[in-house]
Amino acid sequence: MVRHPLYLSSLGIVSSLGTGITETKATLAGKKNADMIKRSGFLPDRETILGTVTGNLEKLPDLLSEFDTRNNRFLWATASQIADDIDELITKFGKDRIGVLIGTSTAGIEEGTAHYQQRVENGKFPESFRYGHQEIGSPSEFLKTAFDLRGSAYSISTACSSSAKAFASGVRLLKADMCDAVLVGGVDSLCRLTVGGFDALQSLSADICNPMSKNRNGINIGEGAALFILRKDAGEIELLGVGESSDAHHPNAPHPDGLGAVRAMQTALARSGITPADIDYINLHGTATPLNDIMEAKAVHAVLGPDVPASSTKPLTGHSLGAAGAIEAAILWLTLSDSDTGAPLPVHHWDGEIDAELPPINLVTSNQSLVPRNRLAMMSNSFAFGGSNVSVILGKGWTTR
């Protein structure tokens, strides 16, 4: 098949898995522990387990100090990992032809919360208060300014599918010839507003989340960022297709039969030009809530069948909300990058207690590895409040150049 390829040529990442590709791969391989930490200060009455970035975050340069939030420090950390590649893009295409698309849901709301608290207590905002920190567009505006880019730049906020939808928007920018390359990814940082909100929904687990188990009882919130270069001209890992759907079943519950999830997965396959049998692994949305997991198991079983290796990596990352789609796409990217050596598949971490109400799916154990072959394809699911569903398919070896 002759394709019009799109490539994800570079990756920067920071999460509870670690900072950078080397640390992230080591954690996924079980060589170091993920930073799933019991934290105080996010709920008024108790500690809660949160996927936390523990490494030192570099302060933003003085010229970018007006953007200084934890969210933007995450983005700076990821962009710094691929800064040479971004500079090469600028030299090749020019600043007008490079876009920025960032999925997020928190922006700088934690800083805003702290500053409003100081105003209540002291009668005025601190000098560091910037209203713009709280705006959803802040991360994309920051990244555009940091590299003096002049192409299309905006943020996407559809809760837990935000950064997965950023890939779809990036594809549209490239196919419309509005850009030659796009910095695409997602970022979210821990904040009291979201942790408290999910607690109010009775969705937080007191322990490490337990996806697909009969004992599952909720999520752990996480934080982090992943940033890719999406381009037309070069790269080893291909963005084969993105499928979007919106079932609008309920403000905060998925359709019980996973109809929107099925449509997103089927659309991603159709746009990729591949079949369900071509999928070598799927990274599940896998939140460990009762409703999400049974819906997703039904959708995966219906579209891909019972044998495709599947896992949820949220017991290692927490649910990083607006950043989840990008971080989980990064896990696909890393696995595909090592595919020539028969890389181990990301393990499904849970208690092993099967829920008889879930259709059977092939949850990855520690002895399952990717079988090297000429063509590989992997899917990642992201499902959000309000029925905003996205499936992303990455691959290797599909392009005829």
pLDDT in tens, 315-337: 999 999 999 999 999 999 999 99
What pLDDT is recorded for position 370?
86
DSSP state of 57: P
Going along the chain from its start, the domains and CATH numbers come out as 7-396 (3.40.47.10)
**Sign of dihedral through CA atoms 356, 357, 363, 366?**
negative
Question: Which parts of the chain register pLDDT below 70?
Answer: 1-4, 400-401
Closest Cα partner for 17 from 54, 64, 72, 61? 54
What pLDDT is recorded for position 249?
74
Instruction: Return the amino acid letter for 355.
Output: D
DSSP 98-126: EEEEEE-S-TTHHHHHHHHHHHHHHSS--
Residue 4, classified by CB atoms within 10 Å of its CB into exposed (0-12), middle (13-18) or buried (19+), is exposed
DSSP state of 343: P
- Rounded distance between C-alpha atoms, residue 102 and residue 322, angstroms: 9
- Rounded distance between C-alpha atoms, residue 185 and residue 57, angstroms: 18
Closest Cα partner for 226 from 14, 10, 28? 14
State pTM to two decimals.
0.96
- Rounded distance between C-alpha atoms, residue 33 and residue 74, angstroms: 20
Q: Which residues, in sequence order, are CB contacts of 125 under 8 Å at separation 6+? A: 115, 116, 118, 119
pLDDT in tens, 67-103: 999 999 999 999 999 999 999 999 999 999 999 999 9
Q: Which helix (H) or strand (E) holds 271?
A: helix 259-272
Which structure tokens are listed for 60? Answer: 């933003």
70 and 323 in contact (C-beta within 8 Å)?
no
- Rounded distance between C-alpha atoms, residue 309 and residue 282, angstroms: 6
Closest Cα partner for 205 from 218, 191, 186? 218
Tell me the helices (H) and strands (E) count for the chain, helix number first: 11, 14
DSSP state of 74: H
Residue 286, classified by CB atoms within 10 Å of its CB into exposed (0-12), middle (13-18) or buried (19+), is buried
Q: Which helix (H) or strand (E) holds 317?
A: helix 314-317
The catalytic residue positions are 160, 285, 319
- Rounded distance between C-alpha atoms, residue 29 and residue 313, angstroms: 12
**Sign of dihedral through CA atoms 45, 129, 66, 141?**
positive
